[in-house]
Amino acid sequence: MSMKEEQLLLKRNLGYDNKNTAERKKIFDFSEGYKDILNYAKTERRFVKKTVEILEEAGFKPFSRKQALKEGDKVYFVNRGLSLAAAIIGSSSLKDGVHLVASHVDSPRLDLKPIPLYETDGMLYIKTHYYGGIKKYQWTSIPLCLMGTVSLKNGKTVEVSIGEDKDDPVFVIADLLPHLGKNQMKKTLDEGVEAEQLNAIGATIPYDDEEAKEKIKLNFVNLLYQKYKITEADLISADLALVPQMEARDTALDRSLIAAYGQDDRICAYASLKAFLDSKPSSHTKVLYLADREEVGSMGNSGTQAGFLKYTLEELAEKMNCKIRDVLSNTACLSADVCAAY
């Protein structure tokens, strides 16, 4: 590098080849924790649930309006189980703003429709609607898990997970055989598999009841009832989705990459969480924000367009005798989302 380049040009850190042996080990150790998160937190609800466990292990407590806040206190807020904010109170006034890191925890998936089950041609199918930007052809002929929650009439919520355990069945969206798909293969990638065709096979064995009209559907719902005590009517109020069943695996012979579902943006969410917890004490209050609904425009009561983050900061401001406008005006935010190699 010339003297002029040294003086004027950006000095790029090319990454791994600039690290010593100890630093390289830290990279791989970090990745092991990240893979564990990816394997468990395949939905935003699960990421938030796991984050709460990690925060509580680190001494964080749910925010309470009855509790006074002082330097060093650690509190967290959960919004409907879908988004989360956590804070470490600093020594300076909140009117100086906070240091905020924000990432989103939702990923593209296949949501079940409110009335998802239909029986035809000796099959029980599960109707879905894609959430976020997907390449539809990538979702056929791969093993899928069914995950989410179901709200019951008695007010209780049941957590559903089918496909994670090695003894569980998985779900699949069938595709045409090559010799039957000539017309399909003349279409563009976008048209080859249409959204209305993203229906997973739920069951094929009929329930042993001569009087039943929809025997295969009855068998499917009966199996759900045996495990979760839910009926077809309960699916109307359910928040269920199909997600890829694959576990996170090291990729490439040198193990330099990770193959897994949901890395947009759980890679940044996990890095944000780790950085937040590992950060050194500072005068500014530090805030971690994990958002939902980014993949569909950040709307809704759990997305960034909702007031959750603002109300969280307002709760902290009132506790510390500050005006929210001062907090917001002086806050610095790092918004972390994925980039792509191409």
pTM over 0.75: yes
Q: Which residue has the tokens 């401001």?
A: 317
Check pLDDT > 80 for residue 1. Answer: no
- Give me the mean pLDDT over the 192-212 stretch: 95
pLDDT value of position 70: 93
Please give the C-alpha separations between residue 277 and each of 12, 111, 161, 273, in angstroms, as whole numbers.
27, 32, 29, 6
pLDDT of residue 62: 97
Share of the chain above pLDDT 70, in %: 99
Q: How confident is the model at residue 254 (pLDDT cuts 50, 70, 90)?
A: very high
Contact (CB, 8 A) for 160 and 147: yes
Distances in Å between the Cα of 263 and the Cα atoms of 107, 271, 340 are: 8, 11, 11
When pLDDT is cut at 50, 70 and 90, the band that residue 193 belongs to is: very high
Q: How far apart are CA 7 and CA 1, in angstroms?
A: 10
- Residue 341: is its pLDDT beyond 80? no
Residue with tokens 């850190």: 13
Query: How large is the average pLDDT for residues 4-20?
Result: 82
CA angle 327, 332, 335 (to 5 degrees): 125
SS in 3 state form for the chain?
A: CCHHHHHHCCCCCCCHHHCCHHHHHHHHHHHHHHHHHHHHCCCHHHHHHHHHHHHHHCCCEECCCCCCCCCCCEEEEEECCCEEEEEECCCCCHHHCEEEEEEECCCCEEEEEEEEEEEECCEEEEEEEEECCCCHHHHCCCCEEEEEEEECCCCCEEEEEECCCCCCCCECCCCCCHHHCHHHHCCCHHHHCCHHHCCEEEECCCCCCCCCCCHHHHHHHHHHHHHHCCCHHHHHHEEEEEEECCCCEEECCCCCEEECCCHHHHHHHHHHHHHHHHCCCCCCEEEEEEECCHHHCCCCCCCCCCCHHHHHHHHHHHHCCCCHHHHHHCCEEEECCCCCCC
Mean pLDDT value across residues 9-22: 82
Both tokens of 40, joined, read 């468990």
Give the mean pLDDT of the chain: 94
pLDDT digits over 283-317, tens only? Answer: 999 999 999 999 999 999 999 999 999 999 999 99
Nearest to 283 by CA among 102, 55, 77, 72: 72
pLDDT tens string 111-165: 999 999 999 999 999 999 999 999 999 999 999 999 999 998 888 999 999 999 9
pLDDT category at 10 given cuts 50, 70, 90 is confident
Work out the burial of residue 195: count CB atoms within 10 Å of its CB; fewer than 13 is exposed, 13-18 middle, 19 or more buried. Answer: exposed
Q: Inform me whether the pLDDT recorded for 342 exceeds 80.
A: no
Residue 12 — pLDDT band, cuts 50, 70, 90? confident
Average pLDDT over residues 219-232: 96
Q: What is the mean pLDDT of residues 16-38?
A: 93
What percent of the chain has pLDDT above 90? 88
According to the model, what pLDDT value does residue 14 have? 67
pLDDT number for residue 56: 98
| 263-278 helix and 44-57 helix, angle to the nearest 10 degrees | 10
User: What local confidence, expressed as pLDDT, does residue 204 receive?
Assistant: 98
The pLDDT score that the predictor gives to residue 281 is: 87
Q: What band does 6 get if pLDDT is binned at 50, 70 and 90?
A: confident
> What would the pLDDT profile of 238-249 be if each residue is shown by its tens digit?
999 999 999 999
Alpha-carbon span 331 to 16, nearest angstrom? 33
